[in-house]
Amino acid sequence: MSQTDMTKADKKAKNELRDTIVVIIEALLIALVFRTFLYQPFSIPTASMQSTLMIGDYFVASKFTWGLGKYSFPIPVPLGDRILQLSTPQQGDIAVFHNEPTGEDYVKRIIGLPGDKVQMKEGRLYINGTMLEREQIGTGTDVDSYSTPLPVTLYRETLPNGVTHTIQEVSDDQPLDDTAEYTVPSGHYFMMGDNRDRSADSRVLRQVGYVPATNLIGKGEFRFFSIKDNIAPWQVWQWPANVRWDRMFQSVYTPITHTPT
């Protein structure tokens, strides 16, 4: 090979390396933009939203529906209010939010809007002085992240705006089944888990409390994967016996009428 041919080969190799690096950078930027402004995946490590979201469920949250807040970005941005907001959160929406007392991202259901009064009495939920309708739809066994099983009763609960969702209760005399009346401050939301007796939520003021609007990260949309026992998804050899195929590619608002195991 002549010196000229070697020079051309070197230039070609350098150009190919440069092009590869550019493609990788572009792909990373596209992924970052997609995750920041459009959709972000999350997993469920705890039992607080069962049976709506089970331990081992993976779901996508919309970032643009409620606009962007302080914790919508990879690094928190000190925003005073939400930006690019298309709509406001409603009762019954499933929300991903940053919980400042623990420094973690939580997933709960929005129960109280700014100005609402929320209270639990003997296991029943009251909003603005009215007890919510609750219909028993079945029984099941709940298993938490420590593999502790408990029998539960499933109910269909109806919110004041007509939205229905499934909750589960161990009983109506658990520690958070009787509370003081909470008044949701302006610009804040009251969150509760669907697994009412196994959820640390806005009922526990020091651990969660009222969630500022700017701490909302996204609105839950749909499950795209689900596996038992919180097994890592990359362990494909575990899939045949452990993937919950019937929970995949479903809206997180699809009614649940039983407790999967």
pLDDT for the residue numbered 10: 59
Cβ atoms < 10 Å from Cβ of 175: 9
| Six token digits for residue 156 | 């269909």
Single pTM value for the model: 0.86
> What percent of the residues of the chain are helix, what percent strand, and what percent coil, each to the nearest 5?
20, 35, 45
| Six token digits for residue 24 | 């990788």
One CATH from 3.40.30.10, 2.10.109.10, 1.10.3720.10, 2.30.300.10 for 40-118+184-251: 2.10.109.10
pLDDT for the residue numbered 145: 77
pLDDT for the residue numbered 27: 61
Residue range 205-257, pLDDT digits in tens: 999 999 999 999 999 999 999 999 889 989 999 999 999 999 999 999 987 65
Please state which of the ranges 8-12, 33-37, 88-92 shows the lowest mean pLDDT. 8-12
More confident site: 71 or 38? 71
Residues marked as catalytic: 48, 108
Beta strands 182-183; 133-143: pairing state: unpaired
Residue range 64-121, pLDDT digits in tens: 899 888 998 888 888 777 888 889 999 999 999 999 999 999 999 999 999 999 999 9
